[in-house]
Amino acid sequence: MREHNGKVYIEENKHDIEELKEIVSILRSPEGCSWDMAQTHESMEKCLIDETNEVLTAIDNGDFENLCEELGDVLLQVLLHTEIAKENGKFTFEDVVQKLSEKLIRRHPHVFGDVKRPETPEESLALWKSIKKLEKERKENKK
């Protein structure tokens, strides 16, 4: 067992998202893993596709044990990409969480606002798509 930043990481211990972020940061550090340190957004594109396909296979097979593991692999991809972005001064994991939270609240005005709640999943999806279309139009008009 090796200590990192005054802490020992033990496989069987209970872990949370903050510790997982620490682990990824250590893997990318000079004391970390040469493969992880060498990765870029571009070099990881195929990994993200492969891991996503493995999630889809687990879903198709109804294999929930494997689905749990594969979702973890997709989460690792997200954490690695955000760590790389943080290292380059672009954005952080917290920025990703903030943007996602804002989007979910904005695109669910029937839950977090005063818009009438759609009656069906199809109506909910149509509302989501209409809000997304408006966002895209606003973004294009700002250019």
Domain ranges, ordered by start, for the chain: 3-106
Q: In this predicted model, which residue has the larger pLDDT, 123 or 2?
A: 123
Residue 2 pLDDT > 80, yes or no? no
What one-character DSSP code corresponds to residue 31? T
pLDDT class of 92 with cuts at 50, 70, 90: very high
CATH number of 3-106: 1.10.287.1080
Per-residue pLDDT reduced to its tens digit, 46-60? 999 999 999 999 999
Residue 43 pLDDT > 70, yes or no? yes
- High-pLDDT (> 70) share of the chain, %: 99
- How many Cα atoms sit within 13 Å of 50 on the Cβ side? 8
Segment 14-43 shows an average pLDDT of 96
The two structure tokens encoding residue 110 = 């029937």
pLDDT class of 29 with cuts at 50, 70, 90: very high
Closest residue by Cα to residue 65 from 57, 89, 127, 115: 57
Phi, psi values for residue 8, rounded to 5°: -105, 130
The two structure tokens encoding residue 79 = 């954490």
Report in angstroms the alpha-carbon separations of 32 from 4, 17, 36, 60, 98: 10, 19, 8, 35, 28
User: CA 44 to CA 29: how far, in whole Å?
Assistant: 17
Whether pTM > 0.85 for this model: the answer is yes
pLDDT class of 3 with cuts at 50, 70, 90: confident
Q: In this predicted model, which residue has the larger pLDDT, 2 or 93?
A: 93
Question: Who's near 119: CB < 8 A, 6+ residues apart?
Answer: none
Residue 1 pLDDT > 70, yes or no? no
List the alpha helices (DSSP H) in the chain. 17-28, 34-38, 45-61, 64-87, 93-106, 109-112, 121-142
Closest residue by Cα to residue 87 from 143, 56, 41, 138: 41
Residue 5 pLDDT > 90, yes or no? no
Token pair 């991809």 is at which residue?
A: 77
